[in-house]
Structure 1
Amino acid sequence: MAVQAATRVLEVTVSGCYAWRRRGPTARQVRHALLTETIRQVRVASRGTYGYRRVHAELRLGHGLLVAHGTVEMLMARAGLRGITGRPKWRRARPDLISSDLVDRRFARDGVDQLWVTDITEHPTREGKVYCAVVLDVCSRRVVGWSIDASPTAALVTNALGMAIDSRRPPAGTIIHSDHGVQFGSWAFTTRAKQSGLVPSMGSIGDFYVNAVIESFWSRMQVELLDRHRWRTRLELANAIFDYLEIFHNRRRRHSALGWLTPVEFENRSTITVA
């Protein structure tokens, strides 16, 4: 019944339907099947990188096969084969997300939560690199926000900024200063800053001293922690960074710029109040 119903819908005879089922594949179908298998072999040999243009060239020059570009493209599409595209490009930040330099190397502040600086550093382990973003208060030198991840994404810096905002509740007008890294020009980072009343600032391009306070911080961390060991796993290094930032740097390390007080001691003085 199913065959008879199908033949009525398609307006063909029952005998013609059974004859079609008995026929083998056409010469074109056989050729396409063989070509598809050869294309798969070419793709394997290219380590999965070739698109249809290079596959076509290899079929013609390497295998001596005469086949049209369109046929190769069609067969690869049917088989779900495609070449590797070029490296993903960073999208340039829109002009409204590029901030001017509101600091101009003048980092001195007489109170906390007036100026924060932020940046990213990286360090290798046997498993791969670890990236750390830090937000530093320039008055007390305290790390007020940080984030650690296996890749330097916008989420890395946005999470560090979010931690700083949640823990400090800064007043409107606090400056968050960075370099022109694409992460700091991202929509996520800029929106998080502006929604919390922060004022984004970016130093001039190509100026080593544009973020001198946090560059000095990274230099100390490199000497005092990162370069002292050969780190095996990302987790091992992440735990060590956490201990350095929260325990050693903020609470135990005495800073010459603070009259040899620790950042926490400096902020706890009666003349300094956290907003």
Structure 2
Amino acid sequence: MQNAGLAALGLDWRYLAFDVRPEELAAALAGARAMRFIGLNLTVPHKLLALELVEALDASARTWGAVNTVRFEARVGPDAWRPLGLLEEVPDTAELRAHGFNTDADALETALREDLGLALPGLRVLLLGAGGAGRTAALKLASAGVAALFLVNRTRSKAEALAAEIARRYPGARVQLGYPPGPVDLVLNATSLGLRPGDAPPWDAAAFDLRRAGAAYDMIYRPAETPFLAAARAAGCRAANGLGMLLHQGARALEIWTGRPAPLAVMRRALEASVYGGTGA
């Protein structure tokens, strides 16, 4: 997806994947800065760790409490920094910094609107998972004014902590632990259950019948249809996987690095080919 976007923009850049252990994230960021990387994307468990490792945080990272995009910048004045991707040359003596952003939360909202026709204000939502992805989703949902948010997590204490954070940051939000007693507009899976064959379901079918949900969204995009989504469709729900969220968070990251509009159609085709057609993106 990113390499297709870079090619469409005529940029001689490459997007590469690296496995980095959590304890080596600081060294990896320092190495990327030393090698004059334009930027990085981070995935779990690095999104929370990076909050303490970058020199600057965008409002998006401060609001959602996670960093999934890093842009390297050079000082060009006493209080001025410029993205490395916008500089023709970076002097060896340049002072550099890492600037952290979060593109996940807005990407989720966009994907729900485009893929399921859902606007967040006024929705009743059952959220499965209170980990890193679940926390960002919950904060976004609460900030957007959902009518009710039901939190379910395997470890109840984590759901309790998230509910307390929401109550502190968004006092008007209506949050409840456990399954809803009535229907909901959306069931959102923010767990990793469904990634691997044989995974347990992310929800308790005895506690909540999917026929009481209008729509279902799974942040997982590979496999394209998880058992959760298959069950939701069988129950009559409108359903979508996390492909749209991945597209929009990646497109926004590309814009942050390049300062140019992302070629969404090109990136979407590459992503769909990767997920549905088995080719590289």
Band the TM-score falls in, shorter-chain normalisation: under 0.3
TM-score under structure 2 length normalisation: 0.24
- Higher normalized strand content (fraction of residues): 2
- Higher normalized helix content (fraction of residues): 1
Give the number of the structure with larger relative contact order, counting CA–CA contacts within 8 Å between residues 6 or more apart: 2
Larger C-alpha radius of gyration, 1 or 2? Answer: 1
